[in-house]
Amino acid sequence: MEVFVLRIEDPGCFWVTMKGCGPHVVDETEYKKLNAEMNQFYDKACEDEVKPITLEKDQLCVVFSEELKCWCRAVVKSIMYCADHYQIECFLVDYAKYTFVKSKDVRVAVEEFLQIPFRAKKCRLYCTKPVTLRVNFCEDTAKIVPAKRWDNAATRYFQSLLKATTQIKAKLCSVEDNTFHVILYVTVEDEKVCINDDLVLKNFAHFEEAKENIQSPEKGQDSQTSSNVDSPPVELVNPALAFRPVWLQEKVPMNLETGHTVSSSSLEKTYKRSNMDLNVNNESRFQNVSEERSFVFLNNKIEPTSILEKAPLHDSLKKELAQDEFLGPNFTESYCWPAVARGCDVVAISYQGNDPFLYIPPVLAFLQVESCYKALPKRNGPLVLILCPGWRKAQLVFELLRKYSTCSRPLRPMLIILGKKKEEAETVKIQGCEIIVTTPYSLLRLYEYHLLLFSGLCHLILDEIEVLFSDAAEQVFVILDYYKKSLITEEWKYSPHQIIAVGTQWNKHIGSLIKEFMNDPYIVITALEEASIYGNVQQVVQYCVSSERTAVLLKIMDFTPNGLQKVLVFTNSVDEVEMVHKALESNSIFAFKMHKEMEFNFKDFLEHWTKSDSNGSRVVLVLTDDCMQFLEITDASCVIHFSFPSSPTIFGQRLYNMSDNFHNVIKDSSDQDHQQARSVIMLTENNECHTVGILRYLEHAEADIPPGLGGVLEAEEKKKFARPLCTYLKMFGSCKNRTVCPDRHQINLQIDMLQNMPSKTIQTSGYVTVLPLHIVNATNYFGRIVDKHKDQYTILAEEINEYFKETSNRVAAQKVEKLALYGFCEETVFHRVQVVETSSKEENFNIKIKYIDEGRTSQVQSSQLLHLPAKFQHLPPQALEFVVCRVKPIDNDTEWNPRVTRYIHQKIERKPHEARVVLTLGNTVWIDPMVRVTRLSDLKIYVNEYSVRAEILSTGLGTDNPEHISQLERLYEHARVLSHMKNLEPLSIKEDAVSPRNVSELQNVSLQENSSENCNSSKVIMGNDPCDGVAQTKEAEDSSLHPQKCFYPEIKWFENEEAVTVKVLIARIADYKCEFSKEKVIFSACSEGKLYSVDMELYQCILKEESACVIKDKEAIILLRKEKKGAWCKLLKNKNPHVSFDFEYWEGFEDKSPFPVGTKKLHCTTAVTEELVDSSEDSGAESDE
């Protein structure tokens, strides 16, 4: 039969009207006649006689359409309360349109107007199912797999085919749930195309075998009660099912929306259906199931709106969105928009939580209902206040508002970003402005001069709530208090008041926001791992070896509290399910198992699962991730991740199985009777790549971090050692988003130190003349240092321009190579440029070049490059990066406001400035101050015209940053220590290198130390004097590169006849090096960022092959084997104040000495006397005795 398409949602849901003749076809003249009769009847009828007493969702009625200017049959989809009327969302069943009408325009559907079937027939393509491209990042593969929803590209292609056709015919194959399953044929440019086949051919869809329960129109037509053909539709059609999108029925079952425990009957029905599904075509049903499905955590039931045309927006806004190819709200928006459009408080946490479209369209729609604001007094404050975390996000929100607010009544949005200048806030005019977009700090500055700012405020929107609470929690709560106090007045009883908070992560302050400032909010969380943080799920990480996972699992089960009765153990494979299940049973733990290669006894499992709470028994289910959709469990009390989840989405879906046991933030903690849900993550060596993510998640959840994960972030930072130095670290001394920033946050001397540049090109300290040529932002520029005496680049630039003035010298580059140098003409000036990127190998293609003497980049044609003679390439690139120190943006922002950047750009570009270099790393020079100096020719003197730092501060958009340079210097010192440590090769004691007696003696020393009462009384004394040959450290203002201080540690020694034991008192040695020679020992070590060095010229010779060094917790013990037996008068040839005899071992030596007592005493006394003499001389001879 021939059809005419009325409306398209996707290939699985579209509406048509049928032409011709047939069992399902009604002639168009019948509908015209019906329409005329309805208009005549309802125009003349008394309103009280045909007005419905009550209105309910899915009720069939007649409404007046302003767009069609006639009365139409419709189904009620939703009801929204406004100030003086109800707003009804309806679906026009004869026109397949969604529309909004007021309650006064709704009438009872008279029975005689319900005899003809609905004109719009809902259809879907027969046995044609959607597919999607699934990318496996672990295996680096991509393949096309079945999907639950149609891809946007498939929908657009389907629409384009139907739009380009001259004729559409449909073959009716079956009818299911009031939906006609059809094969569509279209004629495009005289060619007949089967759309079903074409979508499959172009990989937009795949064929699926027909289900047995789908009725064919040829079979059992008399018993068919859902086709809406021969009987009155009011008796045979369930409008809620007839027009509700099928994917919503499948994806959002009741238990998912309400968050309440699944009843036994509904669970049993689900299990029966799933049992059938598992036994039919298992392979296809288990492919990518968990990734296709979307889950949502809701504290209140929301009917989602996934289609643009039925979204709670006014028609002009829908039209504007459609023109921008906006296909419809995404999954999170489909839940947020209805709640926002009703004026309810909303908290939304989603992966797309930083998208302003979560709230902008429904808020604009609400603002169109002017009657909602009639009770408000006429004041000068805004209706809507949107708080953003920074000026950039505020700018984005403002641009979107300015664009889409034009489709409605004038709303006059206003962007307000204020600095610290008071006069700026005083001059702001907010009269007539209904929407203000700003930041918390700017708003509080504005409030000081506009005290009535909150007097008419109805909607307070917190964008990126987690960032707001992280950076400005105090300011946000102050604003919330102001808003709350403004609602006390009488007129607010009849006016809307709404708080909307959207973000990507849950934050602990959101709980206070909900309890203290919101009224029964709708909480929508589609990032389910964040829902577990909201629900206060206890996160436990168990680190173990992969081979010991089963044993660790059994221990976990033994120590799991009795209150956690329902346990799910997730694995990644069928073999793991079988292995874990067998291990549990062998340890007398009753458990079920479920995977795609087995038949599952749902009845038995259901009986145990539902009765476990009452009889106190534990139920354990071992399963794979692809079984989750069939179970739809939400009341588990413990989830054990035996296998690591393959993605954050899978991790969140596993946690969602405990959603009924999530803590309710709105209620007080005293009302929480149930035990805290628990998630146990088993982390093995095979999951090391996920360790950083797990650690960040635990920190975010404020969970206990296992000791083994302590150094993970440091190790992750070391992996970035080849990356560029973080821009924020260079500009401000610190990086706010260090954990997610891809760049390096440590100084790498191999990369950052000056390379391939002569020393004359750049100074490391002192005053220089700086010429800024390319302004990146207010404090970051590229330019060059000008030599006051003889500037080599000025000479070179003149020679280059003189050379290229001759047309014959302008030879086009024959071959363009990456990183090669060329000449380039910009207007009338010639520059040296380097090719950074090439995009093609065609004859003339776009390339990216860098001006090596100015630092800027641009895109040019390859044909514009000129051959650069070698004589012009000898001078190294002159462009340096300059950073002005000790100033940063206000309000904890990480980016400079364009206003201050523009101001500085106009002031300093291509003008020489005097500056003092305070730090130099590679091609980056930190300067403070940077001053414009002007010469007064009449007076023959120079004056400071301005300081760049002072100019930035004067704009009110910058603030002092005193720690800037000191933080960089600390990083540099640390880099120097690391560099030295790399050159140290630790001496390891080997059996073949050190005799057993040396090792035993070292062990004896350790034992004696542990048994001694005073062994821990000695403290490490850090020397204040640097080692010989190392320059004293200069102050930061006078030098850019600080040499590493070298400390001499405290040393104690004692001896016996054959050996000398030296103790170097350094705590927590990180790395060390010990070199032995016949007459000398050189020992160096690093500890807590300090470098220690000892060069000991010994009193007598030793046997270096039999000497050794061992590191203890608080000291290094060096055993020196004497070349000749006998007593040493002293340890070193030359006296040293840091070396002393260890008296703790004096008496012990006497007891064990084989020598006569007199000899021993003489020997020890000699050594001690020598040390005392040295000590007294060094102390300035305090006593003459």
Give the residues across from 7 on adjacent strands.
Answer: 15
CA angle 47, 52, 54 (to 5 degrees): 145
More confident: 1062 or 543: 1062
**Mean pLDDT score across all residues of the chain:** 77
514-to-362, 488, 498, 1129, 1140 alpha-carbon distances in Å = 21, 18, 12, 78, 67
The whole-number pLDDT of residue 464 equals 94
Report pLDDT digits (tens) over 560-583.
Answer: 666 667 899 999 999 999 999 999
| pLDDT of 1162 over the 60 cut | no
Q: Is the pLDDT of residue 98 over 80?
A: yes
Most confident of 777-781, 966-970, 1050-1054, 1109-1113: 777-781
Whole-angstrom CA distances from 159 to 155, 172, 203 are: 6, 20, 16
Q: Which single residue is written with the structure tokens 């403002």? A: 398
Q: Residue 844's pLDDT band (boundaries 50, 70, 90)?
A: low
- Does the pLDDT at position 800 exceed 90? yes
Point out the least confidently predicted range of 43-52, 277-286, 440-449: 277-286
- In this prediction, residue 507 carries a pLDDT of 92
pLDDT tens digits along 742-790: 888 888 877 777 544 444 456 667 889 999 999 999 999 999 998 878 8
Looking up tokens 């309710």 gives 664
Mean pLDDT throughout 270-298? 40
Q: Indicate if the pLDDT at residue 226 is higher than 60.
A: no
SS3 string of 935-1001? EECCCCEEEEEEEHHHHHHHCCCEEECCCHHHHHHHHHHHHHHHHHHHCCCCCCCCCCCCCHHHHHH
Per-residue tokens: 220: 């059992």
- Confidence check: pLDDT of 259 > 70: no
Helix/strand/coil (H/E/C) assignment for every residue in 537-594:
CEEEEEECCHHHHHHHHHHHHHHCCCCCCEEEEEECCHHHHHHHHHHHHHCCCCEEEE
pLDDT of the residue at 380: 67
Answer yes or no: is pLDDT of 155 > 90.
no
Select the more confidently predicted residue: 1039 or 920: 920
How long is the chain? 1185
Whether the pLDDT of residue 245 is over 60: the answer is no
Mean pLDDT of 705-719: 73
* pLDDT of res. 258: 32
Q: State the average pLDDT over residues 536-557.
A: 88
The whole-angstrom separation of Cα 383 and Cα 408 is 15
361 has a pLDDT exceeding 90 = yes
Predicted pLDDT at 903: 95
The pLDDT confidence band at residue 491, using thresholds 50, 70 and 90, is: low
User: What pLDDT is stored for residue 390 in this prediction?
Assistant: 92
**What is the secondary structure of 885-948 as a DSSP string?**
-SEEESTT-SS--HHHHHHHHHHHTT--EEEEEEEEETTEEEEEEEEEEEEETTTTEEEEEEEH
pLDDT of residue 296: 84
Give the residue-averaged pLDDT of 172-193.
84
Nearest by Cα to 981 from 1103, 865, 1093: 1093
Q: What is the CA radius of gyration of the chain?
A: 40
- Give the pLDDT mean for 240-262: 29
Does 216 score more than 60 pLDDT?
no
| Comparison of pLDDT for 262 and 901, the residue scoring more | 901
Higher-pLDDT residue of 1083 and 133 is 1083
How far lies 396's CA from each of 196, 246, 399, 658, 711, in Å?
Answer: 41, 35, 5, 38, 39
φ/ψ of residue 9, rounded to 5: -100, -50
**8 pLDDT above the threshold of 50:** yes
Higher-confidence residue: 544 or 437? 437
Task: Judge whether 591 and 620 are in contact, CB under 8 Å.
Answer: yes
Q: Check residue 674 and give its pLDDT.
A: 58
Asked whether the predicted pLDDT for residue 404 surpasses 60, the reply is yes
Mean pLDDT across 511-523: 91
Summarize pLDDT for 33-78 with one digit per residue, the tens.
Answer: 888 888 888 888 877 777 887 778 888 899 888 888 888 999 988 8
CA-wise closest residue to 1031 among 1041, 1018, 1045: 1045
* Mean pLDDT (whole number) for 1136-1158: 58
Asked whether residue 1041 carries a pLDDT value surpassing 70, the answer given is no
Per-residue pLDDT band at 135 (split at 50, 70, 90): low
Please, which pLDDT band fits residue 414 given cuts at 50, 70 and 90?
A: very high
Contacts of residue 981, Cβ cutoff 8 Å, sequence gap at least 6: 1070, 1071, 1086
* Predicted confidence (pLDDT) at residue 1015 exceeds the cutoff of 50: no
pLDDT band at 81 (very low <50, low <70, confident <90, very high): low
Mean pLDDT of 948-967: 92
* Average pLDDT for 1128-1143: 84
Mean pLDDT over 667-691 rounds to 74
Q: How confident is the model at residue 411 (pLDDT cuts 50, 70, 90)?
A: confident
Distances (CA, A) of 231 to 24, 215, 497, 875, 975: 11, 18, 48, 92, 85
Who wins on pLDDT, 795 or 133?
795
- Decide: helix, strand or coil at residue 68: coil
Say which residue, 1070 or 10, is predicted with more confidence.
10
| Strand 638-641 relative to strand 566-571, pairing | parallel
- Of the candidate ranges 50-54, 731-735, 821-825, 1122-1126, the one whose mean pLDDT is the lowest: 50-54
Element housing 699 (H / E): helix 691-700
The pLDDT value recorded for residue 689 is: 78
